Amino acid sequence: MVEHVSSRSKEALRILGESEPLFEVSGNQILRGKFHNQFAIILKNVGMAERREDYIDRALMQYTAASIDCEEAGHERLLADVENNLGALFLHLDRFEEAHAHLDRALAVVTKSDKGRQAQFEDTRARVFLAQGNLEQAETIAQSAVRGFREGGEQSHLSAAITTYAVALARLGRHDDALATFSEAIAVAEQAGDPATGGIASLTIVEELASALSPAELRNYYKSAEAALTHSQHPAIQYRLAECARAVIATEDGTALGAERSNPATTAISLEEQVLRYEGQLIERALQASDGSVTRAARLLGVTHQGLAFILNGRQRNLLPSRKPAKPRRRSIIRYH
């Protein structure tokens, strides 16, 4: 059931929380290990999205419990997965040395014949190197991960690994190679019937190659990403879409001003309409992703609550019905004299 609601993290979190007492009394350590690992994944996702340190702490506790159960049960493959997940969590926390330590354990446990899993762990390692700025190491290990996925027949993860490799190439300044590699990631995702992963690749092109592409190319890649990810409820994806839309608008702004200097009034109107349209679409998606909460929508968009409220009450009044009414604050029980 959790797999069916994994795209709705809050619902998955509720189900797992209610189920935890049942698994705690189970004598099946493998089943307990799987439960703790899944619970940790959901806690991490919600914690990262909402910047909840308490959820991150709980995720670490669940991963630790999963690791103990898997080790005592002798389930090496699941233990390796847990260690990889811990590596990914510490990557998000910018605790790189700990991330590498857990990935060392994951790679030590997995057998060399399990090329798909080894490639998965190498892809995580490559992303750690990217975050550290170790681009040459990231490029080498990412290329190895792509090769491993191909040899292991792991098409479900191949597109994401190719995207990681393309990011390394882009940051090394090999823009043509990077664009070709991103294009391959999109094609692989399409062949696998995974439009969301292809959308992530398109979105990453805008993030990594903005200076190397024309405004028209950037706009097309952004539109492809937006179409593929339009139903995503993941706050991080919504935030990245918002940031990329701002970059595309800024690029088109400069191009349009240069191309239409002969009619500045028309240019100003068309640009204003375009910006308002993009802004409205982004705010609407953010409100949907946050269940109408202006505070959470503002966080997704990288603006203050007051700033978003001002926009909603001003130039985007048509979106006011999408907003959840603010609850009246309780009067403090502390009386001030």
Look at residue 278 in the predicted model and tell me its pLDDT: 65
Domains annotated on the chain, with CATH:
1-107 (1.25.40.10), 111-224 (1.25.40.10), 233-324 (no CATH)
Query: pLDDT band at residue 329, thresholds of 50, 70 and 90?
Result: very low
Query: pLDDT band at residue 327, thresholds of 50, 70 and 90?
Result: low
Candidate ranges 41-50, 138-147, 249-258, 324-333; pick with highest mean pLDDT: 138-147
Look at residue 274 in the predicted model and tell me its pLDDT: 60
Percent of the chain with pLDDT over 70: 83
Rg (CA), the chain: 23
Look at residue 49 in the predicted model and tell me its pLDDT: 73
Look at residue 31 in the predicted model and tell me its pLDDT: 86
pLDDT at residue 319 is higher than 90: no
pLDDT at residue 324 is higher than 70: yes
| Residue 206: closest CA among 255, 161, 246, 172 | 246
Q: Report, as an integer, the average pLDDT of 225-237.
A: 80
Look at residue 254 in the predicted model and tell me its pLDDT: 53
- Least confident segment among 23-27, 47-51, 98-102, 254-258: 254-258
Which residue pairs from 303-310 have beta carbons closer than 8 angstroms and sit at least 24 positions apart in sequence? 308/283
Q: What is the pTM of this model?
A: 0.74
Distances (CA, A) of 35 to 10, 58, 121, 135, 257: 16, 14, 21, 36, 56
CB 135 within 8 A of CB 171: yes
- Tracing tokens 């706009």 back to the chain, one arrives at 219
- Least confident segment among 112-116, 188-192, 303-307: 303-307
pLDDT at residue 34 is higher than 80: yes
Q: Report, as an integer, the average pLDDT of 52-67.
A: 90
pLDDT at residue 260 is higher than 60: no
pLDDT at residue 1 is higher than 70: no
Look at residue 114 in the predicted model and tell me its pLDDT: 85
Q: Report, as an integer, the average pLDDT of 184-210.
A: 94
Q: Report, as an integer, the average pLDDT of 54-64.
A: 91
Q: Report, as an integer, the average pLDDT of 150-168.
A: 90
pLDDT at residue 53 is higher than 90: no
Q: Report, as an integer, the average pLDDT of 119-139.
A: 96
| Residue 6: closest CA among 60, 15, 229, 155 | 15
Q: Report, as an integer, the average pLDDT of 85-108.
A: 94
**Gap between the Cα atoms of 103 and 320, Å rounded:** 47
| Mean pLDDT, the chain, whole residue set | 82
> Between 336 and 193, where is the model more confident?
193
Look at residue 198 in the predicted model and tell me its pLDDT: 95
